[in-house]
Structure 1
Amino acid sequence: MTPARPPRALLWDVGNVIVRWNPRTLYAKIFKEPADLDRFLSHVGTLDWHSATDRGVTFADNIAALSAQHPHHAESIAAWWDRWLEMFSGAIPETEAVIEALAERDVPQFALTNMSTETWPDVKAMSPVFRHFRAAVVSAEERVIKPEPRIYEIVLERTGLEAADLLFVDDSAANIAAAAALGFHTHHFTDPATLRPAIEKFGLL
């Protein structure tokens, strides 16, 4: 679906758009052998398993359930929460610069993130640009995650805007496709260097 008018506001994903997040950053410190690291992340500490916290399950409950299935990995599984911040490697400067530039032009900006309410405060503290968001839809608060259509509907309810008013920036192709199908403008974030030109192309900078 192609929106009928240009966007007038930004809707930002957070992980790997504003701040870099990758469980491998932590677990490469725990598993010295690459094969052991790959095996753990593909069969034990998977993104599928982690997504339960994005839906509102606590880290404690999610970790306990997985540890019961894989007791020999209990210590490594516990690190998912105990050493959570070590999965991050800082903010993305190109994105921060664009958010600041948009704020100077008083372009409305919002966030839409698949994230636990337990981790959201620490993530917001990683960059000063989060102060520019007029509202944030956090999946765990809503008990629904991207790319499910309902979470995009919640964005529209929360912002008071229509889909065609918003340019959605996300690093997930599935999330981008879902938003586009609902009438959002979209930019698939794959390279920080292409972000500002894309925003300029939409006429927002």
Structure 2
Amino acid sequence: MTPKAVVFDIGNVLIEWLPERFFDAQIGEARRRAMFAEVDLHGMNDRIDRGETFRDVIYDTAEIYPQWRAEIQLWHDRWIDIAAPVIDHSLRLMQALQRAQVPVFSLTNFGIQTYDLAAERYPFLRQFDGDYISGHLGIIKPDAGIYAALENRSGVDPAALLFTDDRVDNINAAAARGWQTHHFTGPEGWANRLVLAGLLTEEDAK
């Protein structure tokens, strides 16, 4: 089936999200490894992505680990520097799909306040034809409920959705619901998949 809508993850598909790289640059790899081993920072971020308040979650966590207080607070204070840069080719693909009148949705694990912050830096985040943001839905990928929310609200047949994500568990959850999927490992492969699906020409996918 030719896809009727394309669904983009955001982190590491449209915008790079590599907190370890950021902290390596700030405090050095050895200290970063020690901090990430002691503090479940990705679990902390999952709470934000489920809809808890951005600043409260991070600053409360920092108080639990006073030896890492200043470093943990950077997750809040320098968040926009962690969520960077844009993956330009992926953005061009999103825009090319919209020029071709293919609906483009976001399906992303993102906090309420962090999405607003990101959209100030990256205005294209306000240009999707449908937004499915975990913080507003109160559920994160790969939980089946977030995929069901997109299906129900968009009205698109699951078999007609083409979804890309950098995480295999998220892809597998979508595939289990009958979605067409692409494991994102770089924009070139994603461009090729969109051409193969008949949604873009090779020229438009550059």
TM-score by length of 2: 0.90
- Partner in structure 1 of residue 132 of structure 2: 137
Runs of 4+ in 1 over 6 A off after TM superposition: none
Match of 1:10 in 2: 6
- Residues 96 and 42 of structure 1, relative CA distance in 2, 3 Å threshold: same
Identify the residue that residue 50 of structure 1 maps to in structure 2. Answer: 45
Give the structure 1 partner of residue 114 of structure 2: 119
Alignment of 1:1-205 (within 5 A): 5-32=1-28, 34-205=29-200
* Residues 126 and 19 of structure 1: CA distance in aligned 2, closer, same or farther (over 3 Å): farther
Distance 2:55 2:124 in 1: 30
CA change 1:131–1:56 in 2 (3 A) is closer
Shift of 1:15: 0.7
Give the CA deviation at 1:45: 4.9
CA distance in 1, matches of 2:76, 2:6: 31
1:123 CA drift (Å): 1.9
The alpha-carbon deviation at position 108 of structure 1 amounts to 0.6
The one-letter amino acid paired with 1:9 is: A
Contact 1:54 1:140 in 2 (8 A): yes
Contact 1:26 1:83 in 2 (8 A): no
Distance 2:78 2:6 in 1: 32
Write the distance in 1 (CA, Å) between the matches of 2:85 and 2:59: 29
CA RMSD of superposed structures (Å): 1.6
Contact 2:165 2:171 in 1 (8 A): yes
Tell me how far 1:162 sits from its aligned partner.
1.6
Query: Within 2, Cα distance between the matches of 1:64 and 1:79?
Result: 10
Q: In 1, are the aligned partners of 2:4 and 2:156 still within 8 Å (CA)?
A: no
Q: 191-200 or 39-48, which moves further after superposition?
A: 39-48
Distance in 1 between the 2:99 and 2:54 partners? 37
Query: Does the 8 Å contact 2:54/2:114 carry over to 1?
Result: no
TM-score by length of 1: 0.91
Where in structure 1 are there 5+ consecutive unaligned residues? none
What fraction of aligned residue pairs are identical, expressed as a percent? 33
**Aligned partners of 1:12, 1:157: CA distance in 2, in Å?**
17
The 1-side partners of 2:36 and 2:81 are apart by 15
What is the aligned length?
200
2:198 is paired with a residue whose SS is coil
| Secondary structure, aligned partner of 1:204 | coil
